[in-house]
Structure 1
């Protein structure tokens, strides 16, 4: 788009970002972010529960992976059912591909905890330290996800930071509530 002065104006939605496909719609981006937040909260709850009873990094990694995959499969099935109910037809190949890609990409949320479990398996760190560090990383990542999502919102920097801080605080509150639930 060109203004009256002949200066090229930039649309923030049209700027390409590294690793971002041009054919991803805003709704598809929203579903990717939503899935990532769900997986992050799920992983956080799993790590908190594991901290109460796990001594084996291998077992902790397996529980985290299986639980996360279960949540992602449930989300995929829910997406297919809701799409079919709303549109009265099954998702197209492109739509189904996006749904599957969204689920698979959300696995990135557990990458750091899995690396930490690997370090614990190699006895570089203790499994308790891996669980605590994983919880901290996941809580912080909620804020990072929010900052990334809010960069297009047209909000001032301090409002984006405030909203990201609120999401991080919710993550920390989840940690506290899970610890309380396991100690009662």
Structure 2
């Protein structure tokens, strides 16, 4: 006889939505920061690149946590209970996982193993591929018809590029 505690149950699709949403959001922010740094790669110190990416990711995760608390308060009329708050913190902090590999690559530049220009290019590729893979999996796992999947995926690519361009304009 096996018993499954509530903590070990698989999350429902509805419970996974905030995790995925927050990771996509942090990925966009991280990609914009990396692209902004890459525009001045020859003047960018590797440690500055690492700290900028980490600060942006922590800032985005923190903003997500605060917005979730505000939304909870506004919708439910009370602050999240301890278990709810712990779940919100898990979602927000889990989004930091999206920058782990780019940070590792940038740390290679900090220790002098690769040039910062190379590290930024690889980190950008990782973030872009991550966003593309998440979008691809989301669209092609859907129950849409094949032509609708292609249309939605193309639209997401266009909107994703627009988001990145707007963020680049904002970050110079």
TM-score bucket (shorter structure): 0.7 to 0.9
Larger Rg: 1
Specify every segment of 5 or more residues in structure 1 that has no aligned partner in the other structure, as ranges: 1-20
Structure 2 counterpart of 1:98, from 82, 87, 112: 87
Equivalent in the alignment of 1:135: 124
Change (3 A) 1:101 1:182: closer
3-state secondary structure, aligned to 2:44: coil
Structure number with higher relative contact order (C-alpha < 8 Å, ≥ 6 residues apart): 2
Which residues of 2 match residues 57-96 of structure 1 at below 5 A? 57-96=46-85
Does residue 1:33 correspond to 2:20, yes or no? yes
- Normalised by the length of structure 1, the TM-score is 0.74
Structure 1 residue runs of 4+, over 4 Å off?
156-162, 172-183
Count of residue pairs the alignment pairs up = 163
Quote the RMSD (CA, aligned, Å): 2.6
Bigger helix fraction: 2
List per-residue Cα deviations over 1:126-174 (Å, max 9, x = no partner).
1112112222221221121123334552235675465445434544455
CA change 1:109–1:24 in 2 (3 A) is: same
TM-score by length of 2: 0.79
Shift of 1:182: 7.2
Structure 2, gaps ≥5 residues long: 1-7
CA contact (8 A) 1:33 1:149 kept: no
Distance 1:175 1:26 in 2: 27
Q: Check if 1:42 corresponds to 2:29.
A: yes
Query: What are the equivalent positions in structure 2 for 1:142-157 lying under 5 Å apart?
Result: 142-150=131-139, 152-156=141-145
Partner of 2:3: none
